[in-house]
Structure 1
Amino acid sequence: MASAVSLSAGHIITLSSSAGIIGQEFCVAYAASKFGVEGWMESLRYDVEPYKFHTTIVEPGFFRTELLVDASTTWPEPTIDDYAERTTATIEAWKSMNGQLTGDPVKLARALLTIAGQAKPLQRFVAGADAIDGVKAKAQELLSKPKPPSNWAATWPTTTPMPEQTTPAPKPRRRPPPARVRRLTAT
């Protein structure tokens, strides 16, 4: 990262998934990895913004790829009786989706090239109708949850005061570009 920051500007694009926002049955490990990527990128943004770096999280839904072909997927055997019926039904549902997905990977690639070329790119890009619908539903679910009582913080068992706001980003340090970059840009 230090060598990237020395370039004085850039754009970091990370491919996540709608599973980084929306949990699904039998996708615990995958969703956990995508939720982790989402948190990493959200936090990284504050570290690199002072150096004129942008970050974009791409959250695609299902696209026509080889994700669901037998060669790229290991299907579990239903070995736990309590899960056997649901596991079998889930596997069959996922297998039936193979070749039927509406997301066009060529359109996604074009959209990513557009985002990469923007002066002020999106911080998040939700790609695919299924992902957009899912994210809207998740946002609605989160916004419709009952709010805690106004005195909840006073009853929370903690000795650490709760911060009022996030720490502001540090001021950027100006570093000269490495010698090899100077040579490339001087010619």
Structure 2
Amino acid sequence: MEKVWFITGSSRGLGRSLTEAVLAIGDKVAATARNTDSLIDLKNKYPGQVYVIKLDVTDYPAVHKAIADTIACFGRIDVLVNNAGFGITGAVEAYTDEQVYSQLQTNLYAPIEITRAVLPYMRKQRSGHILQISSIGGRVGSGGISIYQAAKFGLSGFSEGLAVEVAPLGIKITSVEPGGFRTDWAGDSMTYAPHIAGYETTVDVRMDAFKSGNFKPIGDPNKAARVMIDIVNDAEPPLHLLLGSEAVAIVKHSEAAKLKELEKWETISTSTDADDAENFLETEHGKRYLSLKK
């Protein structure tokens, strides 16, 4: 049975690659973007199969209308892909208030609101799959994009909690966490905070790499699109999906370092338990927590 996808940020980058791949296999797509001019070719190539919607994901009334209009057009939404997003490179203290807020609004608040808008329909269907396009920056911190990473860490955490809530409803959640891909994310789509001195070996290194035009990620967005389609068609999709060997290598290194730090400080950490505290893993709360994480 063909699926109906709702994809934000469909006009460029990973969103465009995914939209094309989904249409190519015969599924239907509500393709949204702030500027829909670049989607006209898909509308002409796949008449009746693609529903193009001009949408600013931070306009919440428009978001709810877009979801309702998609249901009216196609009858259902099987897959939501929260893909729209952008980054601003700079030192935290250099960001303007607007640069901080706009990144959180687009990269975190908007995906949460779009998810909230689609959940009633998926709950009624007792089925659905939500792909939250997070980032390797939602798993591991690095200098120069801290506010972007705050949003992506938040999105990955939101996805974990949501997955527990909606599992009994037949709804699946996957936090997609790409490394660097050959899109314009670090090119034309990237903007910068004002430069300030003192961050030459951290923030400036990333800024210079992006601005030089020599930054060449290793990820192929078309391959990523095919993987995401496969994940949606898998009976047991992952909660977290890393994309790219870069992402896998970085997360492996980071998780090993975190475990080492945890073990180093474990005695100090556990020393704060009350004297009469039970072993957490033997409590009802502990048993329930472990059962949810299976």
Q: TM-score, length-normalised on structure 2?
A: 0.50
Q: 1:45 aligns with which of 163, 166, 169?
A: 163
Q: 1:100 aligns with which of 216, 220, 232?
A: 216
Aligned to 2:184: 66
Q: Residue 39 and residue 9 in structure 1: after superposition, are their counterparts in 2 closer, same or farther (change >3 A)? A: same
Aligned to 1:125: 241
Given that 1:68 and 1:98 are in contact with CA atoms closer than 8 Å, whether structure 2 keeps it comes out as no
Which residues of 2 match residues 148-163 of structure 1 at below 5 A?
Answer: 148-149=266-267, 152-153=269-270, 155-156=272-273, 163=285
Q: Distance in 1 between matches of 2:254 and 2:142?
A: 12
Shift of 1:11: 1.2
Shift of 1:88: 3.5
Q: 2:146 aligns with which of 28, 33, 36?
A: 28
CA RMSD of aligned residues (A): 2.7
Given that 1:64 and 1:99 are in contact with CA atoms closer than 8 Å, whether structure 2 keeps it comes out as no
Q: Residue 137 and residue 49 in structure 1: after superposition, are their counterparts in 2 closer, same or farther (change >3 A)? A: same
**Quick one: higher RCO (CA 8 Å, sep 6+), 1 or 2?**
1
Shift of 1:55: 1.1
Q: Distance in 2 between matches of 1:148 and 1:86?
A: 30
Q: Residue 152 and residue 66 in structure 1: after superposition, are their counterparts in 2 closer, same or farther (change >3 A)? A: closer
Bigger radius of gyration, 1 or 2? 1
SS at match of 1:82: coil
Q: 1:164 aligns with which of 273, 276, 286?
A: 286
Q: 2:230 aligns with which of 76, 90, 114?
A: 114
Shift of 1:111: 0.3
Q: Distance in 2 between matches of 1:118 and 1:147?
A: 39
Q: 1:82 aligns with which of 198, 220, 225?
A: 198
Given that 1:78 and 1:84 are in contact with CA atoms closer than 8 Å, whether structure 2 keeps it comes out as no
Q: Distance in 2 between matches of 1:24 and 1:74?
A: 17
| Identity across matched positions, percent | 29
Equivalent pairs counted in the alignment come to 166
Q: Distance in 1 between matches of 2:147 and 2:173?
A: 24
Query: Which segments of 5 or more consecutive residues in structure 1 lack a partner in the other structure?
Result: 170-187
CA displacement 1:101-135 (0-9 Å, x = unmatched) = 21100000000010011111122110001101001
Shift of 1:165: 4.2
Given that 1:58 and 1:126 are in contact with CA atoms closer than 8 Å, whether structure 2 keeps it comes out as yes
Shift of 1:148: 1.6
Amino acid at match of 2:195: P
Structure that is richer in strand per residue: 2
Q: Residue 103 and residue 97 in structure 1: after superposition, are their counterparts in 2 closer, same or farther (change >3 A)? A: farther
Shift of 1:30: 0.7
Amino acid at match of 2:257: E
Shift of 1:100: 1.7
Q: 1:2 aligns with which of 120, 127, 146?
A: 120
SS at match of 1:130: helix
Structure that is richer in helix per residue: 2
Aligned to 1:16: 134
SS at match of 1:155: coil
